[in-house]
Structure 1
Amino acid sequence: MERLEYKAELEWDGNVGSTAKVREFTFKIDTNTDGRNAGPNPTEYLLSAIGGCLTVNWGRLIKKMRLDVEGFKVEVRGWRTRDEPQLREITYKITVFTNEPERKILRVKELAEKYGTVFNTVGAEKINGEVEIVRP
């Protein structure tokens, strides 16, 4: 079995944030509450990672299936209570601009969820998604 490895290195900023380095990319992690607001907080990065995972897989599948899609956008949301440090619900909505049949677009959704690394690491049972098809 081929093993794919990932690595991130983080350096503390002296307050509550950090600078993360992944391959040749660097980015800030912070908060807008007690930090310096120098970057998104870890929960926002998690939601972005879920959205990025879906975007990569949708893009791959659209190409592989040779679908005519003008574009799509992904919105990912999550919420928690102040008392419990866990997202209670994560939802996403993908808006697709296409004239392709609905069944083909829903197949992309199914496969993107099935093969998404971040999606499945978080847990497919924790994430609910919907698709809106906009006919150009």
Structure 2
Amino acid sequence: MTHKVTTEWKKNVKFESDNPSGHNLFIDLGEDNGGKGEGYRPKALMLSALAGCSGVDITPMLEKMKVDIDDFKIVIEGHLTEEHPKYYHIVTVDYHFYGSDLNESKINRAVDLSVDKYCGVMEMFRRFADVQVKSHFHNS
């Protein structure tokens, strides 16, 4: 399978990129780097792709496992190298699960399957970064 995106320059350092889903997004830099802040930052967009990839693995698995959660969020921090080209060399992925009676063993199983088997973006990150993963359970 091949994915194709087309990214068009919109002047200055702003670009518009399509997606196989049919949705478009804007990429831009902050004012401190010559942009106007009218879009996603390229490197941070990679972190969003990582969270989205893992999230779309985990939620259907939890549904199949009949695990009820009230809420779920993924917080990712990417630590950049000092030298150019700057890239994420350490990435922390924190999974936060909220609910009244969380089945931690099944949730951990779903996270492990995403991290170790299904999330291709996670595997790409592992090629260039130390990826650290942790689950947090917030029982209400």
The question of whether the paired residues in 1 share the 8 Å contact of 2:62 and 2:106 is answered with no
Percent of counterpart pairs with the same letter? 24
TM-score under structure 1 normalisation? 0.89
Matches within 5 A, 1:1-136: 4-23=1-20, 24-32=22-30, 33-84=33-84, 85-98=86-99, 99-113=101-115, 114-123=117-126, 126-136=130-140
Superposed displacement of residue 71, structure 1: 1.5
Q: Extract unaligned runs of 5+ from structure 2.
A: none
TM-score under structure 2 normalisation? 0.86
2:107 and 2:19 map into 1 onto residues whose CA distance is: 32
Structure 1: 4+ residue segments shifted above 6 A: none
The question of whether the paired residues in 1 share the 8 Å contact of 2:80 and 2:87 is answered with yes
Superposed displacement of residue 82, structure 1: 3.5
2:91 and 2:67 map into 1 onto residues whose CA distance is: 28
Superposed displacement of residue 97, structure 1: 1.2
SS at the partner of 1:58?
Answer: helix
The question of whether the paired residues in 2 share the 8 Å contact of 1:20 and 1:28 is answered with yes
Query: What are the superposed Cα offsets for residues 35-60 of structure 1, whole Å, 9 maximum, x if unpaired?
Result: 12111111010000001011101111
The question of whether the paired residues in 1 share the 8 Å contact of 2:14 and 2:28 is answered with yes
